[in-house]
Structure 1
């Protein structure tokens, strides 16, 4: 069972720890968007109320772990992977999802092959159809949060190939340039994958049926 209030407090405390201008405005906007109650997906991982914040925290923890290990292996990365930037980019990479999930009742078969009604989510992009990573960055900017260039680019391109399959050569050049310029882009992408595919493995309701 997800403790939404406890996770919300942990998320906000981590974000405030960075001590950026506009933090309170961003937290207020995330509240209004429904970020703290939203799921992380419709059926793939943490598809339950509050799952999005759990995923964001998992990504942050994975990102900080990766930062520590990468700096130990390659000390010159320390100045390029600032702890505050890892926290900002990982916590905020998926705020685009805050207003896209709508609660519905779906029909699924249980382990015995019987159909049953289960609570679930559908996706509705009509509120702000801006895309994924780019929407997250823009939501943060619109709140007046003091976000740095490397953090914005890491958020924008955290989906890497999942975005690129539907984009053009210009987009591929942009992401490659961003990753070459800012190692944070690669770290956030890796942390997101570790969180969704390893830390959250087995957390979707469909797998439990």
Structure 2
């Protein structure tokens, strides 16, 4: 099964909210299923973004389920929790849709011969911030809860530009919505252990 097929299967099984079908139809018209996840770090390959989104989903689902077992004794998540996990994990990086462009440069191989090599550059058409942009793009089609919006908005944790600039809102967000910290943790695990 391809990354795209797996993404669509999970998306359709877990996300039933009004506007979900329209959002998925829009995603299929973008480069979401072929784009890299970054220019040179994790998932800097074709299909890297959808691969990363699936890895985050797997890690986030595990984090949320472990939390439910530890604090509530639940062995499974209800449909509302399953939908929340799928929305936040699968769609947290929508800000990267139509964000990367393929370019080429000359590079010498080990024998000293020059070859054209593909690489990715950034072409940010909508400079709105990382998490904020993902929330905005999702809500063009599907309404998010306040918790989901905050979780997605702060999924970068301490790497977020506003935190680097001195904002203390991250602490308040994670105190109020602890699943936000779990999404950030899942994102880090996916990035450094799986992608």
Question: Could you state the TM-score of these two structures normalised by the residue count of structure 2?
Answer: 0.87
Alignment partner, residue 204 of structure 1:
none
Aligned Cα root-mean-square deviation (Å): 2.3
Could you tell me how far apart the structure 1 residues matched to 2:51 and 2:107 are? 25
Alignment partner, residue 135 of structure 2:
137
Alignment partner, residue 23 of structure 2:
26
Q: Give the secondary structure class of the aligned counterpart of 1:74.
A: helix
- Alignment counterpart, residue 53 of structure 2, candidates 38, 51, 56: 56
Q: Give the secondary structure class of the aligned counterpart of 2:105.
A: strand
Q: Give the secondary structure class of the aligned counterpart of 2:103.
A: strand
Alignment partner, residue 192 of structure 1:
187
Q: Size of the alignment, in residue pairs?
A: 190
Q: Give the secondary structure class of the aligned counterpart of 1:190.
A: helix
Could you tell me how far apart the structure 2 residues matched to 1:179 and 1:111 are? 49
Could you tell me how far apart the structure 2 residues matched to 1:157 and 1:139 are? 15
- State the Cα distance separating 1:165 from its structure 2 match: 4.5
Query: Do the aligned residues in 1 keep the contact of 2:163 with 2:170 (CA within 8 Å)?
Result: no
Residue by residue over 1:165-185, the C-alpha shift from the partner in whole angstroms, topping out at 9 and shown as x without a partner, is 43343xx2x222211111210
Pairs within 5 Å for 1:6-21: 6-17=2-13, 18-21=15-18
Q: Note the residue ranges of structure 1 that are not aligned, 5 or more in a row.
A: 201-209
Query: Do the aligned residues in 2 keep the contact of 1:151 with 1:184 (CA within 8 Å)?
Result: no
Query: Do the aligned residues in 2 keep the contact of 1:86 with 1:184 (CA within 8 Å)?
Result: no
- Shift in alpha-carbon separation, 1:106–1:26, aligned structure 2, 3 A: same
- Alignment counterpart, residue 67 of structure 1, candidates 64, 68, 89: 64
Alignment partner, residue 97 of structure 1:
96
- State the Cα distance separating 1:74 from its structure 2 match: 2.1
- Shift in alpha-carbon separation, 1:112–1:165, aligned structure 2, 3 A: farther
Alignment partner, residue 178 of structure 2:
183
Q: Note the residue ranges of structure 2 that are not aligned, 5 or more in a row.
A: none
Question: Could you state the TM-score of these two structures normalised by the residue count of structure 1?
Answer: 0.82
